């Protein structure tokens, strides 16, 4: 799966391309609105040492997203991958993530 276009669409939905965006009461940061738990999970999966503060760096944030989606959305459609990004590893099964996908697909 080529994640580039999907990640670009997610960035538009999550932050309108703002690397310094802060959301979810300060818990999600950067262009991809990454929570600390995602960074911890990616570090566990990939043996990396990213920090939550680094998620305002577009290159680091994209890499974290790529690792996360490669782990949890491998072999899945863009819809499933976007919904996993929004709702966690089982996000593609949650009805609450359907509206998120509807926003993302407009930018693909």
pLDDT of residue 2: 87
Q: Write the pLDDT tens digit of every residue in 23-75.
A: 999 999 999 999 999 999 999 999 999 999 999 999 999 999 999 999 999 99
CA distance 39 to 100: 21
The answer to whether the pTM exceeds 0.85 is yes
**What would the two tokens of residue 64 be?**
């974290």
H-helix or E-strand spanning residue 105: helix 98-105
pLDDT at 1 over 80: no
Sequence-ordered strand ranges (E) for the chain: 22-23, 28-29, 34-35
Q: Could you tell me which of 55, 60, 90 has the C-alpha nearest to residue 73? A: 90
Contact present, 14 and 33 (Cβ < 8 Å): yes
């Amino acid at each position: 799966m080529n994640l580039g276009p999907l990640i670009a669409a997610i960035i538009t939905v999550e932050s309108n391309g703002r690397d310094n965006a802060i959301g979810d009461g300060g818990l999600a940061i950067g262009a991809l609105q990454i929570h600390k738990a995602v960074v911890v999970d990616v570090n566990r999966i990939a043996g990396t040492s990213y920090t939550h503060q680094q998620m305002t760096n577009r290159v680091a944030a994209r890499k974290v997203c790529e690792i996360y989606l490669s782990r949890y959305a491998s072999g899945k459609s863009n819809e499933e991958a976007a919904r996993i990004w929004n709702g966690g590893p089982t996000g593609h099964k949650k009805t609450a993530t359907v509206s998120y996908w509807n926003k993302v697909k407009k930018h693909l």
